Amino acid sequence: GTRWTIFNWIAQAILLLTFAFLIINRHLLTAAPDFTTPLSWLDVALDYIFLGFIVTIGINILINGLEKSLTTTRIATEAVKTHSFHLERRVNQLRTVAEISRTISAETSENYLQRLAEVIQERLDLYYVGVFFVSDDGQYAVLKAGTGEPGKTMLAQGHQLEIGGNSMISWCITHQQPRIALDVGQEAVRFENPHLPKTHSELALPLKSSSEIIGAVSIQSAESQAFDEDDITVLQGLADSLATAIVNARLFQETQNQLYELNTLYSASLSMYTSVQSQDALLTIAEHMLNISGTQNYVISSWDVDRDEVVTIFGYTPGVDVSGGFGQRYNLADYPLTAKVLNERVIIPLRADDPNADQAEVAILRADGLKTLLMVPLITQDKVIGLMELHDEINYRDFTPQQIHLVEALSAQAAVFIEMTNLFAQNRRTARNEQVINQITSKFQQTLNVEEVMKTTILELAKALSLEEATIQLGLEETLLPPPSIQNNGHAKTQ
């Protein structure tokens, strides 16, 4: 450096001064050497040897100085280049983080995660970027976005890592802290992913919003020692922005779902309670149910507890005439899953392709030509009054939590309406019976003839109950009067 340069110039100056002093004092290069004597030749030779030695030392010192200067300059240049590279990389990181943060702040869809992961990988020149969410049960970190072919493959396979297992993502979520591996070969806590063989450095960052941990981001590089503490600071800021955007997207989606549920329930309630006929109300419920669930058939059955049977009372298939009052009876001993729905008051979906399902129930499903079945108990006033079934003859399907929630809410409304309809029909029958009794009583008071009283009674009862034939018999041990009767012509007849 600077000290060596100063020493170099000082050494050269001393040599030149020494050389000049020797010449001036005629110790070197005498003006007229006497070559007739051997000592004169020796003296001249020594002078030139000493002069060559001095010149060689000077040249070596000069060359070494130049080499040192060049080396120092080269090292300084490399340091400047390295510093410039890191500075440019950091500026690029900050610019990318700022741009991505601005973009994701307005994003409300989780489908944007894949594109976001690809942008981070491309802009920051990374090998792989993966985004994991904590599962609903908190047991797994489930991959939701992954870049490149490895990402596509793992997404198709439903890649997930056990929380509490031996992986950086698991450690990151459990401790809610970043974890860095500068050399994955030396990292003790890491899942060896066969889909990512080129990974040499990995950084796991938690996705946190307030105190809630919702997942983690895996950032991987094909270079060793690719990350440092500054990278953690910068990229953690990006992860925090991403977590905030994800939470906002979820809140937005929940709000949309709630609005959809409220609109659906309000529309169904309004249509149901403004319907003139009960069948119209049941049809309204059926249309909403099929629209929510995506199924094709809808059946309502009442529960005959005494006989331990269900009786179909309504069924609907779009494009087919509405079928009401089926009256078909099914013994629950032959349908244990249906019995479980009614007795345990649980909603049960069943797929005909589910290898873990009760194969006896699956056989029944296939025999009926169904691929998916959803059974929902009809409950009102803490009492199970029947069963609602949704059939899918086309698709093997899984129902989302939102679909289940909406179906459950609509089934509760349907149960209330059916119970109200039954009570109304019962009240009407009671009122009608009382009216018939009053009419018969009134006619009793108009005559004292017992036979006329009996004829009037049997005619009114037959009319009220739509009977084809009725008989009244009076007596104790023996018949006191011949019993009048009616036949399907509605006229009383004495037998």
Per-residue pLDDT of the chain in tens (495 residues, 90 and over written 9) = 556 556 666 766 676 666 666 656 655 555 455 555 555 556 666 666 666 666 676 677 767 777 777 787 788 778 777 767 666 766 666 666 666 666 665 554 556 788 888 888 887 888 999 999 999 888 999 999 999 999 999 999 999 999 988 889 999 999 999 998 888 767 766 778 889 999 988 999 999 877 789 999 999 999 888 887 777 877 888 888 788 778 877 777 777 777 776 776 667 666 666 654 566 777 777 887 888 888 888 888 889 888 999 888 888 888 776 554 467 888 888 888 889 999 999 999 999 888 888 777 888 888 888 899 999 999 888 889 888 889 998 889 888 888 888 888 888 877 877 777 777 667 777 777 777 777 777 766 666 676 777 777 777 777 766 677 777 666 655 544 555 544 544 444 444
Per-residue model confidence (pLDDT) at position 490 = 47
Q: Give the DSSP H/E element, type plus range, for residue 159.
A: none
Q: What is the pLDDT of residue 419?
A: 78
135 touches 164 (CB < 8 A): no
Residue ranges per structural domain of the chain: 2-84, 110-254, 275-409, 427-494
**How far is 184 from 200, CA to CA, in rounded Å?**
5
Give the CATH architecture of domain 275-409. Answer: 2-Layer Sandwich (3.30)
Is CATH 3.30.910.20 the classification given to domain 110-254?
no
The two tokens of residue 110 are 């989780």
User: Quick one: tokens of 99?
Assistant: 């741009």
* SS3 label, residue 33: coil
Q: Please check whether the two domains, 110-254 and 275-409, share a CATH topology.
A: yes
Question: Strands, E, within 61-139: which ranges?
Answer: 128-134
Give pLDDT, residue 375.
92
| Buried b / exposed e along 221-251 (16+ C-beta atoms within 10 A) | beeeebbeeebbeebbbbbbbbbbbbbbbee
Q: How far is the CA of 171 from the CAs of 161, 167, 189, in angstroms?
A: 11, 6, 8
| Residue pointed to by tokens 């109200």 | 420
Give residue 217's pLDDT.
93
pLDDT score of 131: 93
How far is the CA of 337 from the CAs of 308, 315, 359, in angstroms?
14, 20, 11
Only one residue has tokens 């006329």, namely 452
Nearest Cα to Cα of residue 387 among 328, 429, 432, 438:
328
pTM above 0.95, yes or no: no
Distance CA 207, CA 230 (A): 18
